[in-house]
Amino acid sequence: MAAALRAPKIVPWASTAEYMCVADQLYSADLGERKRGVATVKAWRGRGRVPAAVDATANLVEMTLADQERPAGVTVSRLRHMYAMALIRFVNSIVDLEQKGVYAQSMATLASRIGMPAWFVELRHACTHEQIPSLAVLRSACDQAHGWLGNYYWRRQARALPADTMDRVRTAVSEYVSLRAARMAQAAAPATAAVAVAVAGKSKPAGRTFDAARRALKQLVGQLHPDAVRLHVVPVLLEPGLLVPEDRKLRAKFPSCKLPPGLVTRWEGALRLFAETWGKAPFFEELLSGIVAALTPDAGQHGIFEAGDNGPSASHAATLAAWVRWILESHYVGAEPSAVSIDGLLEGCLRNPCYYSRAVLKIVSEVDPALRRALRPFVDYMGKALAALVAADAEAKAAAGQPKKGGVCVSEEALQQEEALMRRRLEEVLGADSKSMDVDADDDADADGHVPGSDRPLDAPRAAPSTRWAYAEQPSWSPCPIGALSDGSIPPLEWPAWLDDVPLHTVPA
């Protein structure tokens, strides 16, 4: 069975730059930088799930900081227990990730598989079941565990997550396709040559040969992690000018959804390279998942059959649907059992019904007759729902400015009476303080502070400002990450030490 499509990975950090900045802070020689790194990881824990290696690194660094800034009253025994707990959690959280299969394996076997020194497991066993080692041994173990995580996890992440990965993929793919089109155009008629270059959407780069561009693309693809297919490659391929030509005349059209001649020829080399590198099923399933996500709105954020503001144009969507047809005809129909699976494609279309998802389901029905009977009720339902939606929209436009039949028409006088009633009730509940809650009360005041129509004389003292909260000035608003204050700083989230001595219940004398 083909591998199922993986859902997008949600991470608590805002960008790769923030992620690598925390790595630098956790391994900095400056004490303040280490504190900021630990505080950021605590904020990440409030946003979502943190990787085990990141969590373990922050715990070890926090333990080291607590030892260096040991407050008065913290005994050596208490420090040993704190170190022991940090090291136990470090070994358990990292090694348990390798615990797979039906039968559980020993900690030593799993540790050797990932390259963890065996004495970490022995130390964890001693801290759990035997006498806790000395403070000097625990400090040395904490430092070595911190260094091992840097080599095992953080340095690999720095190599696997370059900040310009998407730009590099975009440049290499665009250059390859452009030179491929230019090379094929040299042997074609002048008119066909102009069309070939236009289909690629790019002009021929100067000083670069097609063979050199192909080698550069192959080298780049070989360096990318399989996760880059979903994170970097597929989003680049779906941008206008690549799989979808920039010239609208060269795009597919509804309802046929047929790719223009020559478009597949220019892309077959790059698509074959991607499939050979990451596997046919994983690559094309990720590409199908990306296409469905681009075509269908999220039913959790929009209403049914409602398109988002950033939805694709009709020609863009028709070309993406045409690529779905080509993938199914080339790598799904009549292919071996381990070929592309369309389970994720069908689920995405059925969960997010719209005009484009209905077109994709019709393509699946045409390509795979065995599914035609099963999909027909869904296609018919979407067609009827869309027709009803169009009719209702036309009726609403025709009756614009008139109250809907059977509906409620509220007059302006009724609204004013309702506003006066609510104001009287507010004054009854809050008394004179209700005036301070009217944020527009002084908007119409004259230069002397007198509001026309009010009973307050000019020489009367102004009421003291209300202590109730009020909205901040809109120009002062600024975006900040979740878990941070308005100035971007991260508040301390740990439990204050002095609260440990506060009794939960007061005992009466």
pLDDT 10s digits, 272-294: 888 888 888 888 888 888 888 88
Comparison of pLDDT for 85 and 303, the residue scoring more? 85
| 3-class DSSP string for 12-75 | CCCCHHHHHHHHHHHCCCCHHHHHHHHHHHHHHHHHCCCCHHHHHHHHHHHHHHHHHCCCCCCC
Q: Give the C-alpha separation, 303 to 300, whole Å.
A: 8
pLDDT at site 375: 83
* Residue 240 β-bridge partners: 244
Query: At residue 191, does pLDDT exceed 60?
Result: no
Please report where in the chains the tokens 């019709």 appear, as a residue.
362
Please report where in the chains the tokens 């506060």 appear, as a residue.
502
pLDDT at site 199: 47
Query: At residue 314, does pLDDT exceed 70?
Result: yes
**Residues in the chain, how many?**
509
H/E stretch holding 213: helix 210-223
Cβ(246)–Cβ(201) below 8 Å = yes
pLDDT at site 397: 66
354-411: pLDDT as tens digits: 778 888 888 888 888 888 888 888 888 777 777 777 677 677 766 665 544 444 444 5
107-158: pLDDT as tens digits: 777 777 777 888 888 888 888 888 888 888 888 889 988 988 888 888 777 6
Stretch 239-267: mean pLDDT, rounded? 81
pLDDT confidence bin for 206, thresholds 50/70/90: very low
Q: What does the mean pLDDT of the chain come to?
A: 74
Query: Residue 376: which residues within 8 A CB-CB, separation 6 or more?
Result: 365
Domain ranges of the chain: 16-160, 165-395
Q: Give the C-alpha separation, 227 to 217, whole Å.
A: 17
Of residues 282, 178, 175, 276, the one with CA closest to residue 228: 282
pLDDT confidence bin for 437, thresholds 50/70/90: very low
Query: Residue 86: which residues within 8 A CB-CB, separation 6 or more?
Result: 59, 60, 62, 63, 142
**Maximum average pLDDT range among 24-33, 191-200, 414-423, 429-438:** 24-33
Of residues 156, 122, 160, the one with CA closest to residue 141: 122
Q: Is the dihedral angle over the CA atoms 175, 176, 181, 185 positive or is it negative?
A: positive
pTM of the prediction? 0.48
Candidate from 64-68, 243-247, 291-295, 305-309 with smallest mean pLDDT: 305-309
pLDDT confidence bin for 37, thresholds 50/70/90: very high
Query: At residue 482, does pLDDT exceed 70?
Result: yes
Candidate from 230-244, 443-457, 490-504 with smallest mean pLDDT: 443-457
Question: Could you say which DSSP state residue 98 is in?
Answer: G
pLDDT confidence bin for 218, thresholds 50/70/90: confident
Query: At residue 436, does pLDDT exceed 60?
Result: no
pLDDT confidence bin for 434, thresholds 50/70/90: very low
Burial label, 117 (beta-carbon count in 10 A; 0-12, 13-18, 19+): middle
pLDDT confidence bin for 172, thresholds 50/70/90: confident
51-78: pLDDT as tens digits: 888 999 999 999 988 888 887 777 888 8
Cβ(326)–Cβ(264) below 8 Å = yes
pLDDT at site 1: 38
Cβ(72)–Cβ(48) below 8 Å = no
Query: At residue 430, does pLDDT exceed 70?
Result: no
Question: Could you say which DSSP state residue 432 is in?
Answer: G
**Maximum average pLDDT range among 53-67, 430-444, 475-489:** 53-67
pLDDT confidence bin for 478, thresholds 50/70/90: confident
pLDDT confidence bin for 38, thresholds 50/70/90: very high
Comparison of pLDDT for 55 and 332, the residue scoring more? 55
